[in-house]
Amino acid sequence: MLSRCRGLWRAAVLFIAFTCTYLVVHAAPTDVPSAASFYVSSLPGLRQDPSHPLHIYAGQLPSDPNAASVPSTAITAHLFFVLTKARRVADKERLIFWFNGGPGCSSFDGLMMEIGPWRMDKDGNLNVTNGGWEEYTNVVYVDQPAGTGYSYTSTDRYVHELSDASQQVVHFMRWFYRVFPEYKEMDTYLAGESYAGQYIPYFADAILSSDLNIPFKGVAIGNGWIDGRRQYPSFLDYAVKHGLVEANSEDYKRSKDITDQCMAELDKITDREPINVPICERVMMAVLEGKEKDGKCVNVYDVRLTDTVPSCGLNWPADLEYVTPYLGRQDVVQSLHATAHSQSWVECRGRVGQELTNHNSQSSITLLPKVVERIPVLLFAGDQDFICNYVGVEGLIQAMEWGGEKGLGKVQTQSWTVNNQPAGTWVSSRNLTYAKIFNASHMVGYDAPHVAHDMMLRFMGVNFSSLVEGTAGIPSSVGEEKKPELGEAKEVETGAPQSGKSPEQDKAMWEAYYNAGSAALVLVLILAAIALFFWCRVRRRRGLRLPMLNTGFGSNNHGNTNGSGSMEESIPLTQTDGEELDDFRLKRNGGNGKGKERAVDPLTPVMFSVGEDEEDEEKSPRR
């Protein structure tokens, strides 16, 4: 009986410990905020489509991989994000992380003016429109590096290298998947424009080298700054091709001189591929100098337009006039859970770009071939952009070596139509797709939302015949291959009864139920263990007295009884089991810029704060 009770007690202790550990691991973690806490229940001025309403999440997540090693009082990196969930059912669930460029420009550019679900009017209303990428895909817009947009860190912790920015993004993604674990199994893509041509190859390489273990399916870069050696000389080539500079004119000779100086400097750099070269940064505006007249200059993001000198595009797009004050409103900041960022929102924060010196980072063209050999890559370019123009993008593609060959090879470039109108050209070779979009600027989605959307759906391999409604029904073709018509399949039934609450409220409710149930189960198990303990002690005592009760003989038996009592006291049940439990606890607990920002202002002194005033933002063309 003694050994039986001991065995039962040990088994009970081990079972309770295992169960408690399991529940701690599988219950909604208390150190990770719930997804429901990021839900944007309302957004000022948002005019929803009642048939397909938006579900939005937003907030800041820890993004400093070294946060554990810094003082608890330090202000560490937290990247801000906005997640817009897919509004319609597609053939499968997908996730896109979107990044704008700069460096230091907020991805609200993408959300509010490019690929997002709405456009803003002068009255501060967000009008949901067709053509947003969230129609069939979940899209996460990320403000990075820390200090950009609503993201924050202390100014002495701004990143200086693209490798550091990559680690911030990977760490952010770890936290994102902790909060939204259901997204970790979805096909995942990175997309962005402008200086994201540097970011995305670095991010992709970091993700492919990490232990994130996600189904990473591809990257898309629009009008990206990727390879200065090929893109700097493209300014003059593009200008001549598009009639901005007349060949052999005085403007041409002057532009050719500064371009030649740039190329001579690049030729001296043989040990690395530079992201930017100071003398070469003068080429773009020098080429367009002859077009300045009456205080007006060419818009470097859309050569069809002009802007005031010296902005030359910084006041574009026109929507920016309404977006900036809107994102500075306190009711908007609170709705987006961005109150931890103490400064006003600005489109591009110059200090972030200044700090990203990249002294030890090579241009992303050194990584892109390795990336394209592992996952599909889409490079796309609006043909009216100057700052990251298609001539330079085509030049870098033709000079790049991957898959054992150089350039695109002998594949045929095909015509591409959307809604029965010429949309651009399309060519694919060895995992790389290049799309040129007609009549589109630096921000392709701003000018041609349906074309950009069709492009991304094609790149992701969406099965159009499985879709039943929406803008995917707009006809399009690449070459002779026409998009299939939308299918007749019915939307997936969830089978779950409707509770009258939103999915986010339901999720929060079930998280609470699960945690409460887990706590109750642990309590029941502990009470059961205590009851078992006392039961074993009672049974043990009775078992040790049995010889005395059954003999019925004289005083010797009393002596035996006393001896038995002494034996009971010397049996180390409590001591041994306690030591084993302590050992178990010890083992468990103690075991193991190129974009809308080119920062050229002198660096301001380091401030131990989370940002700087808007007056500190520089005003020069940004990539």
User: Which of the residues are catalytic?
Assistant: 194, 385, 442
User: Residue 590: CB partners within 8 Å, gap ≥ 6?
Assistant: none
How far apart are the two ends of the chain, measured CA to CA in Å? Answer: 80
The region, left, alpha or beta by phi > 0 then psi within -120 to 50, assigned to residue 342 is: alpha
CB 522 within 8 A of CB 19: yes
Preceding amide of 233 cis, omega within 30: no
CB 371 within 8 A of CB 403: no
- Per the DSSP assignment, residues forming a β-bridge with 434 are 379, 427
- Per the DSSP assignment, residues forming a β-bridge with 435 are 380, 426
CB 355 within 8 A of CB 616: no
Separation between Cα atoms, residue 332 and residue 324, nearest integer Å: 11
CB 408 within 8 A of CB 429: yes
Among 206, 188, 91, residue whose Cα is nearest residue 144: 206
Identify the DSSP state of 439: T
Among 38, 17, 19, 36, residue whose Cα is nearest residue 27: 19
Q: How many CA atoms lie within 13 A of 537 on its CB side?
A: 10
